[in-house]
Structure 1
Amino acid sequence: MTYRVVQWGTGAVGVEAIRGILDHPELELVGVKVYSEAKAGTDAGVLAGRNPVGVTAEVDVDTAAADAVLYAPRHPSVDDAVAILASGANLITTAFAFHPARMAPADRERLQRACAEGGSSLHGTGLNPGNLGVVIPLALAGMSRTVEHVTVQERADWSVYDSTEITFDQMKFGSPINEVDAHTDGLRFTSHLFREQVWLLGDALNLGVDEVTTELEVIPASADRDVCGRTLRAGTVAGQHWQWTGLRKGVPVIEVETLWTVGEPQPKHWPAPRHGWTVTIEGTPSMQAHLMTLASFRRDVPLEEHVRSASVATAMQAVNAVGAVCDAPAGFVTMADLPLSLYRGAR
């Protein structure tokens, strides 16, 4: 069966999704949503750095004829999601809705009604939050007799990430220290996604989580630094240590931790896992897995290709889930509900 897919958004992840859709033997690209008039009218293949494919990017896209919409805007909108789902298209997103059952009640109810109206499904996925933060722990837990504690750690240096709008404007690196906390605009939304991930792990593993707490420590830059053409000034935010903890009767059972810096050495009191993602399960038996995304472990490739590999992995988790989401019953479908998203080869 061939599934008709609209790609919504053409940023770093959206462009990789277009490439993935074009290469996937079971998918057909039927539309591309862009937010810029400068991109409107451009062939989707050209946007993805390929030959023209006969699909033109548009600001206004009709999703009613699509089987699925891959939704990857920088700023997700519940209004957009409701309209897409009500049109009958299944919505697979890397931008939000990792565990809709734990969303704000008003948003959850609107999305539920839209799924019922359109006979469609909503699925949130990605890396972390996403596959590395949910699917990998769940897969490891399948080898357990008991699970006492789950830890997901991410360590990354953002100084080579060339999307400076996200680094500076959304994630607030380079901002005055006293203006950044867990409730700052942009960070509050990101934090909510990770909180959903903790709830999803707790619910899926039946760990009895009854509260999720959030902690953030920021550190200042020790010197001015050039970050992909923008200056991060000494004394402004150059590191963020986040910790989201799922508690059961006051006792931590799930901890999701991110250690993010922008060219700044980590302070000694921070944990120091290897760069990438480390998943640890304490139980019977106890297990640990470390993962990284690189362009290659064998070939000599430019640094920018290694950086881009995370966007490829994020996009392909959504692309490879299209068939399973389209075949799922209408409603919310989490990463804990779907079978594994398998690689199906390329055209």
Structure 2
Amino acid sequence: MVSTIVWGTGNIGRAAIRAVAAHPALKLTAVLVNDPAKAGRDAGELAGLGRRLGVAASTDVEAALAAAPRAVVYAASGDLRPAEALADVVRAIRAGAVVVTPSLYALYDRRGAPPEASEPVLAAIEAGGGSLFASGVDPGWANDVLPLLVSGLATTMDAVRCQEIFDYTTYDQPDVVRYLVGMGQPMDYRPPMLAPTVPSMVWGGQIRLMARALGVELDELRESVARRPLDDTVTTAAMGVFESGTQGAVRFEVLGIVGGLPRIVIEHVTRIHPSCAPDWPQPHSGAGSHRVIVEGRPRIEVTVEATDEDGNRAAGGNATAVGRLVGAIDWLVEARPGLYDALDVPLRPAIGRLGRRGV
């Protein structure tokens, strides 16, 4: 079995522990945490499994990597600490591990990655013999392999649009929601995630991936951003009060321009309450969904609604992103060391997991 570390136990890390524990080819051998209060706690408890896994969380990165794990699921956030996340991943690769992570936006498209991101990784691969596969948490498969699969069903195609539509009422990620995205902030607050060029930095790699797979040349990437205030004060289950008049919804697009027209589009519509911006795209049901729309002949629309952690849609999206990453580990172990992206790594069936109650 492939000895595997989960590094981080937040929203992604909890799902990663469950996914590794359920995978018949993987063995959870360590869990790394930053918070000393979590050290010593059993991984099953941290992941909400309701049972012990016999692996105690630790803050000792050096000892965990010295044990020569074959794989690392790097689940610590890179949103507010991209340089630190890259350094952590490089360290694990130098230790000889296959690393999978959603935390390095710049490496979603390995061919278009900036040298400051790709060169340290390639040097670590050369020195340690590890590998890296980075794929999105938003989730990546909904912005690369799913639209590409659906595009193959069309006779002709004019455009492809990938949508994430979510109500964050139950999403327990206050720093990201309130400060990075700007929910609950005054309308003159400038959220870092919505600053010019940032959406393209985060999601542009996935547009370049799709363009490459579809055999088209991108003229450029463009962005559009819209924000709406809350009409009324709302109280959320996970993050408390959001005041009337503060930002309650945001909608942005990253548009891949081909031949002067937007042909490949990634769009996010995010609310802190369903009452805000009701005229914007809505999920068909519940708190959120991912949607792929192929405009062409025939017109094709596919909606994915995933739930986890007692029916939470945001947790379901995280879990599917993690499933894509963890499900690739045994393939990556058999492949040669290297830097991989979503066009390299096949989306594989859940081999050995049908009927398995590992979680």
Equivalent runs, 1:135-284 vs 2, <5 Å: 135-144=145-154, 146-180=156-190, 192-227=201-236, 228-267=238-277, 270-272=280-282, 274=284, 275-283=288-296
| 1:165-191 CA-partner distances (Å, limit 9, x unpaired) | 332133221112112256667x97665
Q: 1:287 & 1:55 partners in 2: Cα distance? A: 45
Checking the alignment, whether the CA contact within 8 Å between 1:246 and 1:252 is kept in structure 2 is yes
1:327 aligns with 2:337: no
Checking the alignment, whether the CA contact within 8 Å between 2:213 and 2:343 is kept in structure 1 is yes
Choose which of 54, 72, 85 in structure 2 pairs with 1:69.
72
Q: CA distance change for structure 1 residues 144 and 184 in 2, over 3 Å: closer, same or farther?
A: closer
What's the % identity of the aligned pairs?
A: 27
| 1:5-61 CA-partner distances (Å, limit 9, x unpaired) | 110100122112112211211101111110111111222223223433332211122
- Give the number of equivalent residue pairs: 339
Q: 1:132 & 1:313 partners in 2: Cα distance? A: 10
Q: CA distance change for structure 1 residues 238 and 25 in 2, over 3 Å: closer, same or farther?
A: same
Q: 1:216 & 1:262 partners in 2: Cα distance? A: 17
- Aligned partner of 2:39 in structure 1 is 40
- Aligned partner of 1:28 in structure 2 is 27
Checking the alignment, whether the CA contact within 8 Å between 2:6 and 2:73 is kept in structure 1 is yes
Checking the alignment, whether the CA contact within 8 Å between 1:98 and 1:129 is kept in structure 2 is no
In structure 2, the residue corresponding to 1:100 is in which secondary structure?
Answer: coil
Q: TM-score, normalised by structure 2?
A: 0.86
- Aligned partner of 1:336 in structure 2 is 343
Structure 2 segments unaligned to the other structure (5+ residues): none
Checking the alignment, whether the CA contact within 8 Å between 2:182 and 2:191 is kept in structure 1 is no
Q: TM-score, normalised by structure 1?
A: 0.88
Q: 1:319 & 1:188 partners in 2: Cα distance? A: 30
Q: CA distance change for structure 1 residues 335 and 192 in 2, over 3 Å: closer, same or farther?
A: same
What is the Cα deviation at residue 287 of structure 1? 2.4
Q: 2:131 & 2:27 partners in 1: Cα distance? A: 19
1:13 aligns with 2:12: yes
Checking the alignment, whether the CA contact within 8 Å between 1:34 and 1:40 is kept in structure 2 is yes
Q: 1:189 & 1:10 partners in 2: Cα distance? A: 26
- Aligned partner of 1:293 in structure 2 is 306
Q: Over aligned residue pairs, what C-alpha RMSD do you find?
A: 2.5
- Aligned partner of 2:93 in structure 1 is 85
In structure 2, the residue corresponding to 1:143 is in which secondary structure?
Answer: coil
Q: Is the deviation greater in 234-243 or in 222-231?
A: 222-231
Checking the alignment, whether the CA contact within 8 Å between 1:126 and 1:315 is kept in structure 2 is no
Q: 1:73 & 1:312 partners in 2: Cα distance? A: 15
Q: 1:307 & 1:151 partners in 2: Cα distance? A: 20
Q: 1:180 & 1:266 partners in 2: Cα distance? A: 19
Q: 1:268 & 1:15 partners in 2: Cα distance? A: 32
Q: 2:123 & 2:59 partners in 1: Cα distance? A: 26
| 1:55-107 CA-partner distances (Å, limit 9, x unpaired) | 22111223351111101112351111111112211110022232233233211
1:51 aligns with 2:51: yes
